[in-house]
Amino acid sequence: MLTGIETRPVARAPKAVGAEELPEHGVGLRAALARFRERWEPQFSGSAGPRYFGFVTGGATPASVAGDWLTGVLDQNAMSGEDSAAVELERQTVRWIGRMFGLEEHTGAFVSGATMSNFVGLAIAREWLGEQLGISVAQAGVGALGAVPVLSGTPHSSIVKSLSMLGIGRDSVRLVPTRPGREAVDVDRLAEALAALDGRPAIVVANAGTVNTVDFDDLRAIAVLRQRYPFWLHVDGAFGAFAALTPEHATLVDGLGEADSVCVDLHKWLNVPYDAAVQFTRHRDLQLRVFLNSAAYLTAPSDTPDFGHLVPENSRRLRALTAWFSLTAYGRDGHRDIVQRNIASANSLAEQLTASGLLRLVAPVRLNVACFTLADRPTSERVGALVDAIAETGETFVTPTVYDGQPAVRAAFSNWRTTDADVDRAAKAIIAAALALS
Ligand SMILES: *Cc1c(COP(=O)(O)O)cnc(C)c1O
């Protein structure tokens, strides 16, 4: 199956497989495998392959797949460390990852993805906000808090979803104007919005890598505003934080370490299988207040609280093992190499598409995404038809977006398998599809 990943069609709309009856009597593992390969597997996406550029998807390195398999085989419950070194492995892996992103002063925990990482960060922010007002939201409930101002330039949808889950509410988001032609927040306008709060504490959600054009807020300038205004700084660096791995791009995430909480996704650019992300914070005391799980049969939290007291889950998968395997097998430099190759691929694709004269970029390539549209009449119908025609080829897969009111297409590079030859092949397919429309 691993070898087939390179050659299977990149993406296709699955045919309905048809419902199966609940098996009353089992057929055995061998027959189950045969049935899966025949019925289901051919209808699965080629998203783990080298020319799938939709969303920001990431692949899975061979070492991480080995780690994933062992996670299931050994089936540890990484909730507490009473009878297993599994949680020690998780703590160490979190420290490694913190080190890669300059978050040595933060503590962290594995969660299932960037959405949950954002959720946990904002839950701690909510507790901090209560503390500023002399209440504990964990005890008194969110009703005691009143309206919470959440300021952000271009928040990811998962931020808004998290605010809904936290009882803060989707309407709490106050969009701050971005810099002209950019997705990065205008820091002067942010300062004005904070000043207008008259000393009321707030949450600021900053971005390290927006999904459309991978734009970065000026994290250092935002952090400095805390000297004047009381706010919690949460940074969503789901995949953009990986800029820290390459000397040429590390300045984009300058100031990341200043944040009160940080979200880093791992099933995207670390290339571990779904699902894994890390949630970092400088305020574990507040985190403990939110997620404390006290029961007579569980040990009370110590200086290093069990993970069950720090995240929404109690029983939890040892998600750290995939990252441990990949980092042990390939090292920081192996992962830097993946990031650098993906950035080079985004630039190469952008150059080839632009050179065709049929397509143009809607934003410069800042990191690993080429965001482009038709040079001629880029209406939503025509751009939609382009995306469909590209998917139809089975050669590559890209996803549509709207950037600055302009229908556009994104090609995001985050898979370790992608080679120069893959980029050339994808460019040919995209240009051919654009030519057919002209
Ligand atoms: C992907 C992404 C998320 C959500 O991540 P999931 O792993 O899908 O939960 C949040 N923020 C940003 C910037 C992302 O790119």
Taking only the tens place, the pLDDT of each residue in 269-322 is 999 999 999 999 999 999 999 999 987 777 777 788 999 999 999 999 999 999
Residue 9 has pLDDT above 90, yes or no: no
Q: What is the pLDDT of residue 15?
A: 84
User: Is the minimum distance from the CB of 289 to ligand 1 under 6 angstroms?
Assistant: no
CA–CA dist 50, 393 (Å, integer): 15
DSSP summary character for residue 50 = T
Opening angle at CA 227, ends 221 and 232, nearest 5: 80
Q: Which amino acid appears at position 105 of this protein? A: E
- Greater confidence (299 vs 130) lies with 130
Tell me how far the alpha carbon of residue 352 lies from the centroid of ligand 1, in angstroms: 28
Residue pLDDT, tens place only, 18-56 = 999 999 999 999 999 999 999 999 999 889 999 999 999
- Does 417 contact ligand 1 (Cβ within 6 A)? no
Residue 1 has pLDDT above 90, yes or no: no
67-109 pLDDT, tens digit each: 999 999 999 999 988 899 999 999 999 999 999 999 999 999 9
**Structure-block tokens of residue 406:** 């302009």
Domains contained in the chain, CATH given: 63-326 (3.40.640.10), 331-437 (3.90.1150.170)
Residue 114 alpha carbon to ligand 1 centre in Å: 5
What pLDDT is stored for residue 24 in this prediction?
97
CA of 267 to the centre of ligand 1 (A): 10
For 354-396, how does the pLDDT look when each residue is reduced to its tens digit (9 = 90+)?
999 999 999 999 999 999 999 999 999 999 999 999 999 999 9
Q: How far is the CA of 265 from the centre of ligand 1 (A)?
A: 7
Using CB atoms within 10 A of its CB, is residue 234 exposed (0-12), middle (13-18) or buried (19+)?
Answer: buried
Alpha-carbon span 168 to 75, nearest angstrom: 36
Find out whether the beta carbon of 112 lies less than 6 Å from any atom of ligand 1: no
C-alpha 81: how far from chain center: 28
Q: Which atom of ligand 1 is nearest to the CA of 210?
A: 13
Pocket test for ligand 1, best of 160, 162, 211 (most atoms within 8 A of CB): 211
Ligand 1 atom at minimal distance to the Cα of residue 277: 7
Going across the sheet that includes 369-374, the strands are 359-361, 369-374, 406-412, 399-403
Those residues with Cβ within 8 angstroms of residue 386's Cβ, 6 or more apart along the chain or in another chain: 374, 409, 433, 434, 437
Cα–Cα distance between 101 and 219 in angstroms, integer? 14
The gap from C-alpha 87 to its chain's centroid, in whole angstroms, comes to: 23
- Going by alpha carbons, the residue nearest to atom 12 of ligand 1 is 238
Determine the distance separating the centroid of ligand 1 and the alpha carbon of 121, expressed in angstroms: 13
CA of 30 to the centre of ligand 1 (A): 37
Q: Whole-angstrom Cα distance, residue 139 to residue 141?
A: 6
What tokens does 415 get? 């898979």
Q: 10 pLDDT band (50/70/90 cuts)?
A: confident
- For 254-368, strand residue ranges (E) read 261-265, 277-281, 359-361
Give the span between the Cα atoms of 57 and 46, in whole angstroms.
11
Pocket flag, ligand 1, residue 119 (CB < 6 Å): no
Beta carbons within 8 Å of 83's beta carbon, 6+ residues apart: none
Q: Residue 404: helix, strand or coil by DSSP?
A: coil
Please give the backbone phi and psi of residue 281, each rounded to the nearest 5 degrees, phi first. Answer: -150, 160
pTM of the model: 0.97
Residue 118: phi and psi, rounded to 5, are -65, -40
Residue 162, ligand 1, Cβ within 6 A: no
Q: Is 56 in the pocket of ligand 1 (CB under 6 A)?
A: yes
The reply to whether ligand 1 has any atom less than 6 angstroms from the CB of 275 is no
Testing ligand 1's pocket by substitution, the residue of 111, 112, 115 carrying the most ligand atoms inside 8 A of its CB is: 115
Two tokens at 194?
């904070």
Q: Decide whether any atom of ligand 1 lies within 6 Å of the 115 Cβ.
A: yes
Q: Could you tell me the distance, in angstroms and rounded to a whole number, from the CA of residue 63 to the centre of ligand 1?
A: 23
What percentage of residues in the chain have a pLDDT greater than 70? 99
Whether pLDDT at 65 is above 90: yes
Q: Tell me if residue 74 falls in helix, strand or coil.
A: helix
Looking at residue 183, its pLDDT comes to 97
The residue whose C-alpha atom lies closest to atom 10 belonging to ligand 1 is 114
pLDDT tens per residue, range 210-240: 999 999 999 999 999 999 999 999 999 999 9
> Cβ(239) to ligand 1 under 6 A?
yes
Q: What's the CA-to-centroid distance between 115 and ligand 1, angstroms?
A: 6
Pairs from 93-97 (Cβ < 8 Å, separation ≥ 24)? 93/320, 93/323, 93/324, 93/327, 94/278, 94/320, 96/323, 96/327, 97/264, 97/266, 97/278, 97/323, 97/327
DSSP state string for 362-375: SS---SSEEEEEES
User: In this predicted model, what pLDDT tens digit does every residue of 255-266 receive, in sequence order?
Assistant: 999 999 999 999
Is there an atom of ligand 1 within 6 Å of 158 CB? yes
- Determine the distance separating the centroid of ligand 1 and the alpha carbon of 116, expressed in angstroms: 9
CA of 11 to the centre of ligand 1 (A): 21
* Ligand 1 pocket residue status of 238, Cβ below 6 Å: yes
279 lines ligand 1 (CB under 6 A): no
| 276 neighbors 313 (Cβ within 8 angstroms) | no
The verdict on the CB of residue 114 being under 6 Å from ligand 1 is yes
Q: Which residues contact 207 (CB under 8 A, 6 or more apart)?
A: 152, 153, 154, 155, 156, 183, 184, 185, 215, 216, 217, 235, 236, 237, 240
Structural element, H or E, at residue 77: none
Closest CA to 263 of 245, 284, 277: 277
pLDDT of amino acid 360 = 98
- The beta strands (E) that lie in 266-352 are given as 277-281
Which tops the pLDDT comparison, 11 or 371? 371
Ligand 1 geometric centre to CA of 19 (Å): 31
C-beta of 265 in contact with ligand 1 (< 6 A): yes
pLDDT of residue 174: 98
- The number of C-alpha atoms within 13 Å of 164 and in the hemisphere containing its C-beta is 7
Quote the pLDDT of residue 5.
Answer: 81
Long-range contacts of 128-132 (CB under 8 A, 24+ apart): 128/201, 128/232, 128/260, 128/283, 128/286, 129/201, 129/202, 129/203, 129/232, 131/286, 132/201, 132/230
